[in-house]
Amino acid sequence: MAIPILQLKKGKERSINNRHPWIFSGAVAKLPENEEGTIVAVTDFENKKLGYGFLSHKSQIVCRMFEWDTLTEEVLTENYWAVKLKNAFALRQTVIQFGKTNVYRLLHAEGDFFPGIIADVYADVVVLQVLIRGVEKIVPAIQKALVEIGFKHIYIKAKTSSTVLEDIRTGSGWLLGGVEVPVIVKENDVLFEVDFIDGQKTGFFVDQRENRELLRSYSKGKKVLNTFCYTGGFSVYAASGGAEVVDSVDISKEAVALAGKNMELNYPGYKHGTIAADCFDFLGDIEKDYYDIIVLDPPAFAKSAKAVANACRGYKQINLKAFRKIKKGGLLFTYSCSQNIDKDLFQKIVFGAAADSYRNVRIIHQMHQPADHPINIYHPEGEYLKGLVLYVE
């Protein structure tokens, strides 16, 4: 079967030659009329083949490339996708300490040269988050590869408008096996309860593993406030590090309850404050100089380029509130997971908040996503998580 051709406009092949995986609609001379998710061969204006990608009529990114070997004509075979998955698993075997941790990211979309899919491992379960139609079409091949690696339980959370899996009418469900949910997982010897069916994204924010460990190292004898706490990850690590006080705040009552359950799972009877409240309001109302450490880990304020201006205001406001209330000599752990806010812009926002607080502030750590969330060097947009640990005089 002939692979359809997507032809670029003259002079628009440079980024593809540099292995950037996204092709925007404005760069396209001829777009095939095949259905959403079809694998296409990408050519320059002179019909020189550049590689292969998934077609997407419904997005400004009309093609997401996954292959730049112009000799490859086997992009529809199961073995091709199996090799990608096994390469990704080999990397995780290098960077994950499996004796201490059984929750990690197995596939990180463009970071693993596999756009449109996230795969997180929770103990014996792989949770797939399918983001584009092209990946949805090859789910059977992905499932087969995961079985070959040794996984026996596979759950899928499909975000596309339809599904090729006849037994999963809603787009989500068990592909293979099945376990009782929530499951208990271990991260750096800390336990967490994860609900990947009803929880946000795949159920747990795996990307903060190393940053939570850093907080643990600073927590002994400290009063710690964890805002936007969700599952209480930072809270449990603070308790593990010997914190005197740990308070968890989230606007969601369900999140606060889960944070409480995770604390009880690890430290039964620990005096843990759980507060369901708006974090902006809570920071404005708390006593000054009470907390030694404040963690700001909000959801993505900028989910699109149009939202950046409002997001900047939000990040500045929440950081300014923390600067004004944190104890002298305190530590502020502050993060942004907004892909549209790069690390330089984030640091400028935090600089503005620090300046308005009239306090001396020093950066002692710069943080980002861990090694199981690799950044494709040709796709710097994949560096979405950024964070600072700030010493506030």
What is the per-residue pLDDT for 201?
Answer: 80
What is the per-residue pLDDT for 320?
Answer: 97
What is the per-residue pLDDT for 163?
Answer: 45
What is the per-residue pLDDT for 159?
Answer: 63
What is the per-residue pLDDT for 200?
Answer: 81
For the annotated catalytic residues, the residue numbers are 337
**pTM, entire model:** 0.92
What is the per-residue pLDDT for 162?
Answer: 44
CATH of 78-184, one of 3.40.50.10490, 2.30.110.10, 1.10.3660.10, 3.30.750.80: 3.30.750.80
CA distance 195 to 351: 37
Q: Where are the domains of the chain?
A: 5-67, 78-184, 205-392
On the question of a common fold for 5-67 and 205-392, the answer reads: no
CATH superfamily, with its number, for domain 205-392? Vaccinia Virus protein VP39 (3.40.50.150)
What is the per-residue pLDDT for 167?
Answer: 44
Q: Mean pLDDT, consecutive 10-residue segments, the chain of 393 residues?
A: 92 96 96 95 96 93 94 84 96 96 97 97 96 94 96 85 44 90 96 91 92 98 97 97 97 94 96 95 93 94 81 94 97 93 94 97 97 96 95 96
The CATH classification number of 5-67 equals 2.30.130.10
What is the per-residue pLDDT for 125?
Answer: 97
Structure tokens at 345: 């812009």
